[in-house]
Structure 1
Amino acid sequence: MNRLLLILLLLNASLHASQPNVLFIIVDDLTTTLSCYGNTHVHTPAMDALAARGVRFDHAYTQFALCNPSRCSFLTGCYPEKTGVMDLTTSLRKALPNVVTLPQHFKDHGYVTGRVGKVFHVADPKTKLDVELGPALHKDSEILVEAKAENDPDDKPRAKAKGEGYNRTFAASARPAADFTDYQIADDAIATLDAFKAKPFFLAVGFIRPHTPYVAPKAFFDSIDKTQLTLPQFYRADGEVLTHLPKSSLRPNNNVFRYVDPTQDEARDALQAYLAATSFVDSQIGRVLARLDELKLTDNTVVVLTGDHGYQLGEHGLWAKQTLFEGANHVPLLIAAPGVKPGSRAGLAEQVDIYPTLCDLAGLPKPKHLQGRSLKPMLDDPAAKSRQTAISTMVAPHTKLTGHSVRTDAFRYIVWEQNGGELLYDLRNDPDELHNLAAQPAQAERMNRMRERLAAHLKAVSAP
């Protein structure tokens, strides 16, 4: 081998060695009900450990609290107004036929790439990765039917028109962990890590729970004392007044209680089940992170973990996504990266920021189409300035009206089109969003400022 060729090979090896790997973990319907975010009832040791060695963003927000629009947004780095995706079936290619998605960008820059489990909601034909393994979504639904029959033999399917039957989309199962969808996803992720270990890689892993059905091995239910769970104000004796809320805000509950509103006991059972499903998926995330460690890849791997959006767990009587309230739009965001000191950040972040952040952490150029802003300055410096607003969009599933939310460090402003209503909450004094201040004269200046901010944002990000 001549000297020049040897130098080139060594230089190439050196460049590859300096490139960090990326493990991007997306958890379906995961809100901030984690121990590391202060929930004392749930057991999430794997995510807690990731938060302890990385940076926890305390105020990160989705751009659309529904799977397909949210994923299209953070996988392209564009707001929903640009992607044109605001439902579960539209392809991002309709509005953005040539956009380069996040995993494709890494492949185009020499990374070996893969996606395991649920990453895109609607498959993208132009993202061609080295490994593409989808989840067997039917498995947990079949386990739900079996578990409900075991737990309550008298609860058999009955006519939906009577408001009966499978109202409760949750149950503890006698099945072992290995029978569940997320166990298979973890297996596939581990196998992919083994295959990728010698090269710089980008691997996106999408876990399914705690998306409905909330099913998990019984031990995860038993670990949560449901008698200690506190229900939201809506379920308390003094209740919650909903008369001020626009119709578009109070979407029908079809995610958990499909046919009949829950009693207090059923609501507490559902909360226990959601936390149990969260604990179970944490155990599978732990298996993947443990394998990363066993392969001695942890120190040179950027790990990002987030939910695709948040979730309403009884707030305002809602058990669903697709709202503009804090619960459905607030998401966990954990980032552990080489050279980044552990800590937490109170500043606002958006999921649309993930793409440019990963570009910066990997030393890749940022595509011109990106609309988010890199979080690397905040990762490097806890005192770095964050964005002033986090903005989310929603199309109400029942009224079909479009609404927007503007979240600042202290307030949330919500507006629905066609004079569908405005809301303003002071989150410092009213974190449960119970008291609408929109009509108060003292808030007139703030309301105008919120309207102006939203208008400027929509003008800047909307597709031409």
Structure 2
Amino acid sequence: MMPPLMILIFNRRQMCHPGPDGSRRWAVRLLALLLGAFLSGNNRLSGSDAGSEQDAAPTIQNVLLIVSDDLRASALGCYGDPICKTPNIDKLAGQGLLFTHSYCQGTWCAPSRTSFMFSRYQGRGKRTLGEHFQNHGLYSARVGKIFHMRVPGDIIAGTDGQDVPECWTERFNSQGDEAHTPGDYACLNLNIFTDDLEGRQSTKMPHRMFVSVSIDGDGSDQPDHKTASKTIELLQEHRDERFFIAAGFVRPHYPMVAPREYFEPYPWQDMSLPPQVQNDLADIPKLGQSPSRSAKNGIDEYPDNQRRMWTAYYASISFMDAQVGRILEELDRLGLRESTAVVFTSDHGYHLGDHTFWQKSNVHVEVTRVPLIISAPGYESGRTDSIVELVDLYPTVSELAGLPIPEQVQGLSLVPVLEDPSVGIKDGALSFSNGHSWRTKNWAYMRYNDGSAELYDMRRDPGQITNLADDPQYNATLKRMHAGLSARLESTGLTIAQPKSIAPTPAP
């Protein structure tokens, strides 16, 4: 006969399916109570009696995952930005472990989010993170954007995008009017400024990436405010059961819409632009160059508008940070911080004029490096230089919650780093776009699909200005980095073109 627990797990998907009246909450609550009682004494079974001290319930009962969108790590105060005001994220960093060397795998929204929600470098695995938690008795909810949604398209429509419904017990979208929100509109690469609602760049339109809107009001009509409000509601509603709640914000993704009060601290006249180096693109291979460059998108004609892009980006971040603060304040008020692991990250970084590049979808550092903060009860706060990847989130939060780590995952648990921030668990980080990059603590190596390559000494050249791939002096380093990348690709079942500069010598 099938054990009772296995019967419950087997039937859970049917129990959670909405009935004719649309209700499924009673079944979810019943299941959570039954499984919660079992799991309290059996999360870390080792063959001894369930009532023994060794099998006591884990301190961490819940996981709150907070995901920003298009957020470059270097724009946060806790990562060293002296201008951007992010008091709530900075406070979380002071309470948890801040990872200085964390990297995404996909370099735009869809592949990155699929990657960390399945813990696979590319493509889908067998089971999402949310399904894994559900299968062990936790309530799983999404609010806002976790899997890919078109921004602004799916946000305006209030639709699910590429969401995976099996991941969630419940899911909630956060609708917003985006560029169509009344306020001071700008399309900065076209040098258009207006408060007219007609003719604004929006879904699938070619210049939507350069849109900002400074709005009146408190921002309660904005999707990120709605995401925070719904997340707070779910924390209140599920405070007495184990949960995995994922809150996905859309800012600072374009269009950069925020209340006027968040624009005011960042006068565009005070904004500094990334260093512009003469002939900077000469040593960057064609596949390594962003398709959105100042000379192609038109913003090179308006240096002041490049500064306004930074103003809007900072304003969007600060507005998003305020919503993070609302959620964390409620978590504290409910007394859940002592039992909840909080993870803050972004799907990837962003270019704002670096190398004259804008947006994402390439493997330079401002895109591949992402913020990552983990605040977990029982672990010390601090900083770590350990190399980590977003694929590591799935196994990490699983272990923190006392759950087994599925064999399908390709990431590694970061719990050893939480226990000792000086520990390193991997040699480098893998990212991909028109090829792959391999990032170690001191070096960055990019290998593109046409065999071209880039190599940077990140200690001396953190801005990745001088490509050393064709310098004979660094051939040994190039070969070492090539070997590291090849080994990681082989271990994950991926392959890519051989670099021209170190192609193997043909046999005689």
Q: TM class by shorter-chain length?
A: 0.7 to 0.9
1:224-271 alpha-carbon deviations (Å, 9 max, x no partner): 24333321112xxx645211111112222289x955545221111101
- Of the three residues 338, 341, 349, the one matched with 1:302 is 341
| Residue of structure 2 in register with 1:140 after alignment | 178
Is residue 2:247 matched to residue 1:205? yes
Q: Secondary structure of 2:371's match?
A: strand
1:171-205 alpha-carbon deviations (Å, 9 max, x no partner): 32224311211111111111111111110110011
Q: Secondary structure of 1:388's match?
A: coil
Q: One-letter code of the match for 1:213?
A: P
Give the 5 Å matches for 1:119-198.
119-121=146-148, 122-125=161-164, 127-136=166-175, 138-143=176-181, 147-148=185-186, 152=194, 157=199, 168-198=210-240
Give percent identity, aligned residues only. 35
**TM superposition score normalised by structure 2:** 0.78
Residue 147 of structure 1: CA displacement? 3.4
Change over 3 Å in CA distance of 1:250–1:210 after alignment to 2: same
- RMSD in angstroms over aligned alpha carbons? 2.9
Give the 5 Å matches for 1:376-391.
376-391=415-430
| Residue of structure 2 in register with 1:433 after alignment | 464
| Residue of structure 1 in register with 2:258 after alignment | 216
Q: One-letter code of the match for 2:449?
A: E
Q: Secondary structure of 1:370's match?
A: coil
Change over 3 Å in CA distance of 1:361–1:156 after alignment to 2: same
The 1-side partners of 2:269 and 2:104 are apart by 31
**Is the CA contact (8 Å cut-off) linking 1:172 and 1:216 kept in structure 2?**
yes
| Residue of structure 2 in register with 1:412 after alignment | 444
The 2-side partners of 1:374 and 1:14 are apart by 22
**Is the CA contact (8 Å cut-off) linking 2:388 and 2:426 kept in structure 1?**
yes
Change over 3 Å in CA distance of 1:341–1:208 after alignment to 2: same
**Is the CA contact (8 Å cut-off) linking 1:37 and 1:58 kept in structure 2?**
yes
Is residue 2:102 matched to residue 1:60? yes
The 1-side partners of 2:77 and 2:186 are apart by 28
| Residue of structure 2 in register with 1:341 after alignment | 380
- Of the three residues 369, 387, 391, the one matched with 1:330 is 369
Note the residue ranges of structure 2 that are not aligned, 5 or more in a row: 1-33, 42-56, 149-160, 496-508
Change over 3 Å in CA distance of 1:168–1:159 after alignment to 2: closer
| Residue of structure 2 in register with 1:44 after alignment | 86
Q: One-letter code of the match for 2:418?
A: L
Q: One-letter code of the match for 1:114?
A: A
Work out which structure has the larger RCO, using CA pairs closer than 8 Å and 6 or more positions apart in sequence.
1
Change over 3 Å in CA distance of 1:254–1:297 after alignment to 2: farther
| Residue of structure 2 in register with 1:266 after alignment | 305
Note the residue ranges of structure 1 that are not aligned, 5 or more in a row: 1-7, 84-91, 395-401
Change over 3 Å in CA distance of 1:9–1:307 after alignment to 2: closer
Residue 135 of structure 1: CA displacement? 2.3
Give the 5 Å matches for 1:443-458.
443-458=474-489
- Of the three residues 46, 62, 69, the one matched with 1:21 is 62
Count of aligned residue pairs for this structure pair: 428
The 2-side partners of 1:10 and 1:370 are apart by 24
| Residue of structure 2 in register with 1:70 after alignment | 112
**Is the CA contact (8 Å cut-off) linking 1:26 and 1:207 kept in structure 2?**
yes
Give the 5 Å matches for 1:278-297.
278-297=317-336
Is residue 2:492 matched to residue 1:461? yes
| Residue of structure 1 in register with 2:392 after alignment | 353
**Is the CA contact (8 Å cut-off) linking 1:76 and 1:355 kept in structure 2?**
yes
Is residue 2:135 matched to residue 1:104? no
Change over 3 Å in CA distance of 1:118–1:124 after alignment to 2: closer
The 1-side partners of 2:415 and 2:448 are apart by 34
